[in-house]
């Protein structure tokens, strides 16, 4: 139940359209609803402004369907991440009101258009990094951030990145997605005045150790203002990027005004 539903419930109580017992029955699912295999955090949207996100990997299709049905009763723009095409088809069996972003592996349940604001820039080193980059971009967009994509600008051809410097200078936050040695996060961090979120990916040959080399490289970045999320965690980066963007919009002068 989000804040709007709760306000409407209290309004109906105040106006006499509902009695106290009816309201109590509707509030029984707060602060969570126990499904046996999962406890649905019905209170999360009231605390954070965002409904609980469904991480599909490792769950059975039946579990995902039950969770989707319960969360979507009261919320729009519910995210189901790491969703395969088979999971998407299973979700469509319980609600046709959903949209699949296949590259990002995200299903948006009960999608609702919202006014996207601010400026989040998502930068990827190579085409192989696009699934993680798109997971970050779609997450930030669904939450309400305007996203600019700068893809395939890895350090092996640094002139491609420099061509987009003006877009980087306008950003409130830059999300940098890179595998191999993960150097791109440091390069971007040395160019911009906004926070940089490094996302190491598991892309690379054997000695990249499934993204560990990129993770350690980003953690050891000599550029100031670079923070790092876990390997392949595009969702976490998109969520954090949206929060930073939202704070920038409520606070300061435009990002470009910070230059110089």
| Residues 102 and 128 grouped into a single domain | no
| Residues 102 and 214 grouped into a single domain | no
The whole-number pLDDT of residue 260 equals 41
pTM of this prediction exceeds 0.85: no
Q: Which residues of 93-105 are buried (b: 16+ CB within 10 A; e: fewer)?
A: eeeeebebbeebb
Is 1 part of a structural domain of the chain? no
Last residue of some domain: 79, 109, 139? Answer: 109
Q: Is the pLDDT score of 60 beyond 70?
A: yes
Domain that holds residue 70: 25-109
The whole-number pLDDT of residue 174 equals 97
Most confident of 51-55, 95-99, 161-165, 237-241: 237-241
| Confidence band, pLDDT 50/70/90 cuts, at residue 38 | confident
Token digits of residue 20: 């106290």
| Residues 96 and 158 grouped into a single domain | no
Is 15 part of a structural domain of the chain? no
| Residues 47 and 123 grouped into a single domain | no
| Confidence band, pLDDT 50/70/90 cuts, at residue 259 | very low
Is 11 part of a structural domain of the chain? no
Instruction: Please give the full DSSP string across 84-111, using - where no structure is assigned.
Output: -HHHHHHHHHH-S-EEEETTTTEEEES-
Cα separation, 146 vs 138, in Å, equals 10
Q: Is the pLDDT score of 256 beyond 50?
A: no
Percent of the chain with pLDDT over 90: 68
β-partners of residue 208 are none
Could you read off the pLDDT of 66-108 as tens digits, one per residue?
A: 999 988 888 889 999 999 999 999 999 999 999 999 999 999 9
Q: How far is CA 118 from CA 48, 102, 144, 164, 181, in A?
A: 19, 25, 9, 18, 30
The distance in angstroms from the start CA to the end CA of the chain is: 45
Cα separation, 137 vs 241, in Å, equals 9
Could you read off the pLDDT of 188-237 as tens digits, one per residue?
A: 999 999 999 999 999 999 999 999 999 999 999 999 999 999 999 999 99
Q: Are 44 and 31 in contact (CB under 8 A)?
A: no
Q: What is the mean pLDDT of residues 24-29?
A: 65
The whole-number pLDDT of residue 258 equals 47
| Confidence band, pLDDT 50/70/90 cuts, at residue 141 | very high
Cα separation, 81 vs 84, in Å, equals 9
Domain tally, the chain: 2
Q: Is the pLDDT score of 42 beyond 70?
A: yes
Cα separation, 182 vs 128, in Å, equals 13
Cis peptide before 31 (omega within 30 of 0): yes
Percent of the chain with pLDDT over 70: 91
Q: Which of 34-48, 104-118, 207-221 has the lowest mean pLDDT?
A: 34-48
Q: Is the pLDDT score of 33 beyond 60?
A: yes
With H, G, I as helix, E, B as strand and everything else as coil, classify residue 186: helix
The whole-number pLDDT of residue 35 equals 81
Half-sphere exposure of 47 (CA within 13 A, CB side): 8
């Amino acid at each position: 139940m989000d804040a709007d539903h709760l306000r409407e419930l209290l309004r109906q109580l105040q106006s006499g359209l509902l009695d106290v017992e009816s309201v109590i029955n509707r509030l029984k699912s707060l602060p969570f609803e126990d499904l046996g295999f999962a406890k649905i955090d019905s209170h999360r949207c009231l605390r954070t402004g965002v409904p609980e996100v469904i991480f599909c990997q490792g769950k059975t299709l039946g579990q995902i369907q039950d969770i989707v049905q319960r969360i979507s009763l009261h919320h729009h723009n519910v995210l189901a991440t790491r969703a395969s095409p088979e999971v998407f088809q299973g979700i469509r069996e319980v609600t046709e009101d959903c949209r699949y972003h296949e590259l990002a592996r995200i299903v948006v349940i009960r999608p609702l258009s919202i006014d996207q604001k601010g400026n989040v820039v998502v930068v990827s080193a190579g085409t192989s990094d696009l699934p993680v980059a798109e997971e970050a971009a779609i997450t930030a967009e669904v939450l309400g951030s305007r996203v600019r994509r700068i893809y395939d600008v890895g350090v092996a051809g640094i002139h491609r990145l420099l061509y987009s410097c003006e877009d980087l200078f306008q950003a409130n936050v830059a999300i940098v997605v890179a595998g191999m040695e993960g150097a791109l996060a440091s390069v971007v961090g040395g160019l911009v005045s906004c926070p940089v979120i490094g996302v190491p990916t598991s892309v690379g040959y054997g000695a990249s150790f499934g993204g560990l080399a990129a993770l350690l490289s980003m953690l050891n970045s000599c550029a100031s203002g670079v923070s790092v999320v876990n390997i392949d965690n595009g969702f976490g980066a998109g969520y954090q990027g949206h929060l930073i963007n939202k704070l920038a919009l409520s606070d300061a002068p435009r990002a470009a005004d910070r230059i110089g």
